[in-house]
Amino acid sequence: MNQTVSLRRCFREPIPEIFDAARYLDAAVSAHLNGKNNLANELFLLANDPKIWEWTDSVWGKRGFYVTVNKLPNKLVTEKVPSRMPTTKQKYELHKRDGYHCRYCGIPVIRADIRKKLKKLYPESVVWEKTNASQHAAFQCMWAQYDHVVPHSYGGTNELENLVVSCAACNFGKMEYSLEELGLIDPRNFPIVQSLWDGLERLNS
Ligand SMILES: [Zn+2]
């Protein structure tokens, strides 16, 4: 029997506003490095678009319309390794391999360390508090995560081969479900996005 299952690369296609915001953030960092702090501030404000917040929330939020789970009855896991966050060295290796784009939906990502540095420099425009709603929409959406492609509950390891750089929405939207249960295609089957986006890392150079 030939069953047609529609598989997807990500839960929801990214909206153009995300890429617009990435351009604003990129320009903001350039402005900052050129000593144009007022301009940088304005650009950080422009990137904080509520439409982006809505996109992220629609994927990782509780009433997510875009995440559908077809729970499988049997988990054939014989050995489960303890869940572990990647080390600093592993994160470095992952960015060296994957660059600064989500391996699922392809949007640009930014490491939390870069965001924290910018928040200190621009506390009025790079806002980031505890609640989701009080976080800068673009930095939240583009918050770099290190996703276990095969989750621990399915025997996934902490090795680099099982980890990919991802955005916050794709990572948190997956929860502990398998790709099969979520109807997602293994992101490792696709080439890595090549672009000039540097994750704003030049702030550190
Ligand atoms: Zn993503």
Give the pLDDT of residue 5. Answer: 60
Distance CA 180, CA 64 (A): 18
CA of 13 relative to ligand 1 center, distance in Å: 9
Q: Which residue has the higher pLDDT, 105 or 67?
A: 105
Distance CA 170, CA 92 (A): 20
The candidate with the shortest Cα–Cα distance to 105, out of 31, 52, 36, 43, is 52
CA of 1 relative to ligand 1 center, distance in Å: 33
Scanning the chain, the segments in alpha helix (DSSP H) are: 16-33, 37-47, 50-60, 88-98, 112-121, 137-141, 168-174, 179-182
Q: Which residue has the higher pLDDT, 78 or 15?
A: 15
SS3 content of the chain, % helix, strand, coil (to 5): 45, 5, 50
pTM for the whole structure: 0.92
Could you tell me which residues come within 8 angstroms of residue 179 by beta carbon, excluding any fewer than 6 positions away? Answer: 149, 150, 185, 186
Task: State pLDDT tens for residues 26-59.
Answer: 999 999 999 999 999 999 999 999 999 999 999 9
CA of 16 relative to ligand 1 center, distance in Å: 14
CA of 35 relative to ligand 1 center, distance in Å: 32
Task: State pLDDT tens for residues 119-175.
Answer: 999 999 999 999 988 999 999 999 999 999 999 888 899 999 999 999 999 999 998
CA of 87 relative to ligand 1 center, distance in Å: 21
* CA 188 vs CA 76, 83, 120, 184, 193: distances in Å: 22, 20, 35, 11, 12
Q: Which residue has the higher pLDDT, 89 or 152?
A: 89
CA of 2 relative to ligand 1 center, distance in Å: 30
CA of 102 relative to ligand 1 center, distance in Å: 5
Residue 199 zone, left/alpha/beta (φ > 0; ψ -120 to 50; rest): left
CA of 108 relative to ligand 1 center, distance in Å: 8
Task: State pLDDT tens for residues 56-85.
Answer: 999 998 766 788 888 887 666 666 677 788
CA of 129 relative to ligand 1 center, distance in Å: 22
Give the pLDDT of residue 2. Answer: 45
